[in-house]
Structure 1
Amino acid sequence: MTDTDLEFVSLGESGLQTSELQFGTWRFGRETAEGNLEIGEERAYELLDAYADAGGRYIDTADVYGGGDSERWIGNWLAERDREQYTVASKIYWQIREGDPNSKGTNRKSLRHRLDAILDRLDTDYLDVLYLHRWDDETPTRETMKTLNSFVEAGTVHYLGASTARPNAWRVAKANERARAEGWEPFSVLQPRYNLVDREIEGDYLEMARNEGLGVCPWSPLGQGFLTGKYDREEGLTGESRAAESTRFEEAYLTPENFDVHDELDTVAQAVDASPAQVALAWLMHRDGVTAPIVGARTAEQLEENLGAADIDLSQEQVDRLTEAKGGPYADL
C-alpha cells in the first residue's frame, strides 16, 4: 500500500473536483503485437485497488480499450464500492465494428448507441465525463454538440470533454462558442498529449484552454515510457523496452535532443531523491494550465511509484531547468 494521499483539484471551471493524478486504464485487456495480454482482469483489480488506496477517485477509460473489457472490469470493481465516490470518464470515436461506417465517429447514431453500451458495461446509470476520443471531421459540429447536450439534459452524462491534438484547438473553441449560443453544454475539459519532450500544446492550445476555463488532463505524461529512464542513449531499445520497438517510436523519442532533456531530468531526480518518472510527472503538476496528468502502470508497484509524484515538491528553479531543457520555441513557455 502506498503512503501517498492524493488531493483533489478543480476540473477547470466546471465545479467538479478531480484527483490530482488520474488513473488511465488503456492497457486493461489490451493485446500486444505478439498476442500477449498486457493487463488481465485480476491485475486490473489490483491496480484499481492500489489507486483507491492512495485516495484516487478519477478513473479514465474508453469504449475501445480492451474491446470493452476495460469498462466491464471497472464496472465489476465499482459494484463492490460506492459509485458516487468515484468519477468515471470514457471516450467515443474509433470504429468498433468492421464494415460498419456508422460505428465510428461522433454522429448522432454512433453517440447514442455507444453511450448506451458504455453505461451497460460499466453497470452505471451515468458517466461523469464523456470525451470525444478524436475530432470527427465527417460530422457537423452542431449535430455532435446537440447530441452531447441531450445526454447532459437526460442526466446520463455530467460533463463533456475532448481528447484532442493541438491542431484541433480552434475546433474546440468554435464548438464551445456554438454550444453557448444555443444554450447547450460546452466542453469542460481537454485531454491532450503533453510531457517534457512532447510540447506541441504549449502556446495557443494552453492559452485557449485558459481562456475557455477548461481543465487540461494530459495523456502520455511519461512519453510512452521514454521518461522513465529505461532507454539508453547509446544502445537505444534494449531489454524490457524491446516490446515497444518501432521505427516511429525511435524517431519520435530516441533522439539526441530528447536524451539531453532526460539528462536534466536525471539530475533533478537525483537532487530530490526521486525517480525520473516521478519528477517528470511532478513537472507537469507544477505547470500552469495543467489540471491533472493521467497515469497508468502495468503493476501495482509501478503505479505506486508514479503516484508518489504527488509528494515531490520541485523548486521553481528546478521546474525552469526542466522546462528549458527542451530548448527551441519551448524554452520561454
Structure 2
Amino acid sequence: MEQRHLGRTGLRVSRIGLGTLTWGRDTGEHDAAGLLKVFWEAGGTLVDTADVYGDGEAEYLLGQLMERLVPRRDLVICTKAGSLPDPERRVDGSRGHLLAALDASLARLGTDYVDLWQVHAYDPGTPLEETLQALDTAVNSGRVRYAGVSNFCGWQLAKAATWQLAAPGTRTRLAGAQMEYSLLQRGIEREVLPAAIDLGVGLLPSSPLGRGVLTGKYRHTTPTDSRGGSEHLAPFVAPYLDDAASRIVDAVATAADGLATTPLHVALAWVRDRPGVVAPVVGARNATQLTAALSVESLSLPDEICRALDDVSAPVHRYPDQDWSTL
C-alpha cells in the first residue's frame, strides 16, 4: 500500500487507515484479529483508536493483538484523549486529564509510546494553551511521537496550529487532524480543510463511507446486521438516510456501474485523493468487508467522474467563502 507523509512531518502512514470504533463492543477478539491481519498483510500501517472506544476495550484488544499477532514496529498507532463518556461533561482538555488518560492508554496498549496522539475534541472550559502544553509534555517525555487534534472547527484548528508554530523547537507542531469527511459530509471544506492545508496539518478523514451509507447497502432497506439496524448505532447512521443523501448515493452507484467497480470503491477513492487528505480511516465489521475496501488501492477516479460527484454533493458555501469578485 502506498505510504504518505502526515502533514509537514517525517511520519509516513498507509493511505488507508484501520478504525477500531467498534472493537471490544460489537467487534470481538476473533474478528479484530482477522481485521488486523488482513490490514497488515495488505501493507496497512495506520491503526486508529481512542481511550473511549469500548470504554477502553478497543485499546486493550489492540494491545493484545500486537503482542501475539502483528509486531508493534510495523504499525503506526494513533489514539485520542479528551472525550468523556459522561453526558454532563462531554470533553476534558485539561493537562491533568489528558496526561493521565495517556498513561492509561499506554498501559492498555501494552506499549511505551504511541505514534500519533490526538486531542479528541475542543474543550471550551480549558484554556487552549493548557491543552496544547499537554501535547508538548507528552512528546518531550517520549510517550508520544507526533501530536494532533480531532473534531476541531476551522478557527480552533488554526489557533492551535499557529500557537504551536509560534515557538519552533519548543512546541510540537500539529501533524494531523481527524475529521469526518465524505461525499455525504463535506462541511470541513468551508474552513477546516483550507486551514489544514495552509498550516501543513494532514487530514485523516473518519467515516469516509458516510457511516456506511455510501456503500449502497441502505438504498432499498436497512439490513438487520448493519450499523443502521443495530439499536445503539442506528442514530449514528440515520442523519444520512434522507432524500439529499439518496441522490448522492444514486450518483455514486451510477459512477460505479460505469467504471465496473463498487460504490464503496468510488466513495473511498474520491475522499482518499482529495487535496489535503492523507489517509481515510475505515471501520469494517469483518475481514471480508475490509478486504473489499483495501482493494481500492489500484483505483483512481477519472476527472469527469470526480467533477460529477463534486457537483452532485456540493455543499452550499456563500459569503464570506464565495469569491468576492463574483458578488
The alignment's TM-score, normalised by the length of structure 2, stands at 0.89
- The aligned counterpart of 2:158 is 173
Partners of 1:147 and 1:118 lie apart in 2 by 15
1:224 to 196, 201, 211: 211
Instruction: Please state if 1:90 is matched with 2:59.
Output: no
Q: What aligned pairs does 1:287-302 form with structure 2 within 5 A after superposition?
A: 287-302=274-289
Please say if residues 104 and 110 of structure 1, whose CA atoms lie closer than 8 Å, have aligned partners that are also in contact: no
CA deviations 1:99-142 (Å, max 9, x no partner) are: 9x7x9512111112111111111111101000111111111111
- Match of 1:217, SS? strand
- 1:77 equivalent to 2:57? Answer no
Confirm or deny: 8 A CA contact 2:182 2:271 kept in the other structure: yes
- 1:33-72 equivalence runs, <5 A: 38-72=26-60
Which deviates more from structure 2 when the two are superposed, residues 47-56 or residues 304-313? Answer: 304-313
Distance apart, 1:204 and its partner CA: 2.0
Q: Which runs of 5+ in 1 are unaligned?
A: 1-5, 31-37
Task: Give the letter for the 1:95 counterpart.
Answer: L
**Distance across 2 between alignment mates of 1:171 and 1:98:** 23
Q: Distance in 2 between matches of 1:201 and 1:317?
A: 23
Identity %: 35
2:6 to 6, 11, 17: 11
Q: Which residue of 2 aligns with 1:308?
A: 295
Deviation string for 1:25-72 (max 9, x for gaps)? 011012xxxxxxx11112111110111111111110001111111111
| Partner amino acid, structure 1, of 2:190 | G
Q: Deviations over 1:149-203 (max 9, x none)?
A: 01111111011111115xx221121122222334311211011110001110113
Q: Output one character per residue of 1:284-310: Cα deviation in whole Å (capped at 9) or x when no partner.
A: 122111111001111100000111122
Q: For residue 142 of structure 1, what is the amino acid of its counterpart?
A: E
Aligned 1:116-265 pairs, distance under 5 A: 116-165=103-152, 168-182=153-167, 183-232=170-219, 237=222, 239-240=224-225, 241-243=228-230, 246=234, 249-250=237-238, 252-265=239-252
RMSD, aligned CA: 2.4
What CA distance in whole angstroms lies between the structure 1 residues aligned with 2:86 and 2:189? 36
Provide the rounded CA distance (Å) in 2 between the counterparts of 1:58 and 1:287.
18
Residue type at the aligned position of 1:83: R
In structure 2, stretches of 5+ residues that fail to align are: none
Give the direction of change, closer, same or farther, for the CA distance of 1:177–1:98 in structure 2 (3 Å limit).
closer
Secondary structure at the aligned position of 2:189 is classed as: coil
Q: Aligned equivalents of 1:247 and 1:192: distance in 2?
A: 19
Tell me the TM-score normalised to structure 1 length: 0.88
- What CA distance in whole angstroms lies between the structure 1 residues aligned with 2:14 and 2:246? 31
Please say which of residues 209-218 and 104-113 is displaced more in the overlay.
104-113
Structure richer in strand, relative to its length: 2
